[in-house]
Structures are given as structure tokens and as C-alpha cells.
Chains A and B, each alone.
Chain A
Amino acid sequence: DSGVTQTPKHLITATGQRVTLRCSPRSGDLSVYWYQQSLDQGLQFLIQYYNGEERAKGNILERFSAQQFPDLHSELNLSSLELGDSALYFCASSPGLAGGKGTDTQYFGPGTRLTVL
């Protein structure tokens, strides 16, 4: 158990809908990262937040957005869902060395499996 929690574990929804995935980082960690893992794409970095502010952006679609709240939990919002958005979505956290731009190890949560029908 990494100490990172994610809810829900599973989510089944229809195309065109909007969902929110939630992540609570390990106690004391300031950085939160979101990743998407699909069978054909592997693990892809989406976005990083550090202490409430966006720190780095990866291959995140415009239909997706995220935020980190004052209590450091984070939410990933996925809208206008398409079949291709079906994937495992992982949240990871790290202490946030060097203001979130360090090489600290990321610890992954159990993931949310999203199925879009």
C-alpha cells in the first residue's frame, strides 16, 4: 500500500458524459501527478500539480482538466468522453522536492478503471 488513495475503483459511463476522478496523496506529499494507461499506449503522463498550482503538463487533452485543492487532494475531470478514453487512470504523489521540480520518487495509487460504452 503506497498511501495514495483513489476513488472510485471502477467507473462505467457512456460516450459524451463527464466524470470526476479523485486522488488523495500520501501524507506530507505536495506533488500530485495524473497518468493514463491504456493497452496500446502504455503509461502516459497527463499533468502535475504542486501545492495547488499546475507544475507540468504532458499529453493531456483539452477535454480533460485537473485541479489540486488546499487540502492537497486532486481531481481529474474528463468530459465529452469517447470510447478511446477507456483506460486505467493513476494518480501518483511525491514529497515535491525543489518546489515540485525535483527527482523525487513518485508513489502510485491503485488507479481508477474507466470504461466508456
Chain B
Amino acid sequence: GQNIDQPTEMTATEGAIVQINCTYQTSGFNGLFWYQQHAGEAPTFLSYNVLDGLEEKGRFSSFLSRSKGYSYLLLKELQMKDSASYLCAVMSNDYKLSFGAGTTVTVRA
């Protein structure tokens, strides 16, 4: 089975940087996804990592270390609209996607 851990909540100031960590234990690994979800809305795709290292996409970057079972999502130059839940999801060998409980990020002015 899957065990995915991420912090429940984080708060940061507009313009700052926030790093959301995700650790996982999984039976087989076929990549790690990050999704953003605003309250009551659909999750939207942010990033996908399958190889170790950092993937940068504008203000958002995602890092993966497969040997450590660890990923982080880095949000730079925070904006008020970044206030949302961020979901870490791991795809296992059977191609099922398992989601963490999500990290609620609150951006303060």
C-alpha cells in the first residue's frame, strides 16, 4: 500500500517562498505528482517528477529524491491566489494514483 505524509497547514506572507514537503512509502514507484486544489474546486495539475532532481516551472518548482522517498514543492513570490490546498500524489507500480491528505497554504498580506 501507500503511505504519503505532508504537513497539514502552512502560512506565509505575500512575496515570500514556501516549501511543502512530502514523504512517501510505496509498493513500486512510477512518479510523483503535485496538484493544487482551491476549496470546493477540482484539483489542477502542477508538476510530475519521475527522475531525481529539480523541475522548475515558473514560480513553482518540484524536487524528487527516490532513494529518500521524498519530494518538495517550492512556491516562490507567493501571491494571494496561491492560497489553496496542495496535494502530493504517488503513482505506484499498478498505475494507481494515491493522494496525500493535502497541505493547506494560507498567504497573508
A-B complex is real: yes
Is the CB of A105 closer than 8 A to any CB of chain B? Answer: yes
Of A33, A43, A88, A108, which one neighbours B44 at CB under 8 angstroms?
A: A108
Contacts of B75 in A (CB 8 A): none
1/0 contact trace for A99-117 toward B, CB 8 Å?
0111101111111010000
- Could you say which residues of chain B place their CB within 8 Å of the CB of A2? 42, 44
In the complex, A101 Cα to B43 Cα: how many Å? 21
- Flag whether A49 is at the interface (Cβ < 8 A): no
The docked-state distance in angstroms from the alpha carbon of A44 to that of B101 is 10
Contact A56 B50, beta carbon cutoff 8 Å: no
Interface string of A31-56 (1 = CB under 8 A from B): 00100000000111100100000001
B40 / chain A contacts, CB cutoff of 8 Å: 88, 113
Residue of B nearest to A113 (CB): B40
Q: State whether the Cβ of A16 lies closer than 8 Å to any Cβ in chain B.
A: no
Interface pair B97/A45, CB less than 8 Å apart: yes
Q: How many residues of B contact A (CB 8 A)?
A: 24
> Per-residue 0/1 for A66-108: is the Cβ within 8 Å of any B Cβ (1 yes, 0 no)?
0000000000000000000000101000000000111101111
25 examples of A-B residue contacts, CB within 8 angstroms: A2-B44, A42-B99, A42-B100, A42-B102, A43-B43, A43-B87, A43-B89, A44-B99, A45-B96, A45-B98, A56-B95, A56-B96, A100-B95, A101-B95, A103-B30, A103-B31, A103-B91, A103-B95, A105-B33, A105-B48, A107-B45, A108-B35, A110-B41, A111-B42, A113-B40
A8 at the interface (CB under 8 A from B): no
Other 8 A-B pairs with CB < 8 A, given A42-B100, A100-B95: A2-B42, A43-B43, A43-B87, A48-B96, A56-B95, A103-B48, A103-B91, A105-B33
Chain B neighbourhood of A56, CB < 8 A: 94-96
